[in-house]
Structure 1
């Protein structure tokens, strides 16, 4: 998929932001990962989703392949999809066997009602199970544009509680945000995170290059803002959804905003801020876009 890369206003900042980016795959994407491997930098973090239509073997096989290809696996754990503590222990045990348990991302998950003993990601963090299987760093979710089903106050309290619980258990923390098309709420949210004294690294969710219709479909599904002004700002057309779109405007604009904050008592100062690409258009398309972006900004 070819997308035209727009020049950055601050090339150094854009290159800094995209350094050490991470990617996302499902358990069904092993073939796609194998095809894209030569275009992905070694030691890139690759998140493996925990979907309801995938099973243990698929998730573990994907994590093993990520590790075998020289990347860093970050398996997801969906709290409300787990039917028992034993199921959590089995999953983590299998991940440890294939060398893929050091980094995980813990999310609540889609089911409104828990299928087992874990009502949310905090319950898993507080269970003490993670450390038993070699977990060293835990990713947690962040929502710069809010969540369609959760009040903002609840989201902030959860973020504070989870980072505090991870610190108490001597586990590393990182924050992965829902994807966005608009830099303004992302930058404001990062300010608010740092103002609360949360200095964990943040990976800003970024939609990888894909068809416009597909991108907007995912935005509606996940409650992400994609109003007419944002669509126009980032080069989409609501009257013509047949084209493709890349995230270069979003990446360049976010980099420029973050670069405006100079060293000192600024809310942005804290852990590293990087990018996580949701690969809606495929792993190869996203990896190729990153290579082209770095080449043209360098």
Structure 2
């Protein structure tokens, strides 16, 4: 959710299981008060807030500490997501999420678990060897500091690169929980727009495997086929370790929560 999504969270709260992790984004067009208020709302409604820390948007160490301090005041620092962020040039001393992790400031403000980014289908601006090195470095730094790590991935449409990437993570000796990103139900045009923005494969074969057609861009799509196929592949590959889902709620918090409840009910 974004800082503007508190009304949407209130609308969806009855459909979301208590304790569910809900990430709160760090957008350039939102301010400190909005981010903290959103994290507080998540906490107050009985969920687990996971505020994003956008390294390249931080102008100074003071700004980082102010953000962490305000989050700690509302009980929202146990879980955070340290991510590089969108700006082409860093606005301060932190060029990437590793540099935030290495400050040692997270524990000072009560952080126990740090989510870090994973990219099963690559990144439009970062080479794969660099992505792997950063993942290894961040995992090692968190382990050294006694912090738990979760790898949270960009959303994907195709299970094949996801499974190959999971195998690559485990081959590198990284045993942290992986949360595979998938979009909640949303308009097909909107999904494809996000895919292009993040450099995610969205060719005809992949979207067919995901479960929608490029000939019907006016419709909506959900992750039913992707989730079912991924579940079956993981069940057949026990070395994948602890793998779960993270939903990107492009179609809204309530629509995603309702989809998840209906999917679970259908499986049982």
Please indicate the TM-score interval, normalised by the length of the shorter structure: over 0.9
SS of alignment partner, residue 155 of structure 2:
coil
Shift of 1:230: 1.1
Cα distance in 1 for residues equivalent to 2:210 and 2:123: 22
Equivalent residue for 2:194, pick from 181, 206, 218: 218
Structure 1 residue aligned with 2:246: 276
- Asked which structure has the greater RCO (Cα within 8 Å, sep 6+), the reply is 1
- Listed one character per residue, the Cα deviations across residues 246-273 of structure 1 (whole Å, up to 9, x for unaligned) are 10100000000011124xxx3x13xx21
Q: 2:209·2:226 contact (CA, 8 Å) conserved in 1?
A: no
Question: Scaled by the length of structure 2, what TM-score is found?
Answer: 0.99
Q: Structure 2: any 5+ residue segments left out of the alignment?
A: none
Q: Structure 1 residue runs of 4+, over 6 Å off?
A: none
Equivalent residue for 1:290, pick from 257, 260, 268: 260
Q: 2:118·2:154 contact (CA, 8 Å) conserved in 1?
A: yes
Matches within 5 A, 1:45-56: 45-56=21-32
Q: Structure 1: any 5+ residue segments left out of the alignment?
A: 1-24
Cα distance in 1 for residues equivalent to 2:208 and 2:150: 32
Shift of 1:239: 2.1
Equivalent residue for 1:208, pick from 184, 196, 200: 184
Whether 1:188 and 2:145 are equivalent positions in the alignment is no
Shift of 1:234: 2.5
For this pair of structures, how many residues does the alignment match? Answer: 268
Query: RMSD of aligned C-alpha atoms?
Result: 0.7
Cα distance in 2 for residues equivalent to 1:112 and 1:88: 19
Structure 2 residue aligned with 1:106: 82
Cα distance in 2 for residues equivalent to 1:235 and 1:169: 42
Cα distance in 2 for residues equivalent to 1:130 and 1:28: 25
Q: 2:9·2:253 contact (CA, 8 Å) conserved in 1?
A: yes
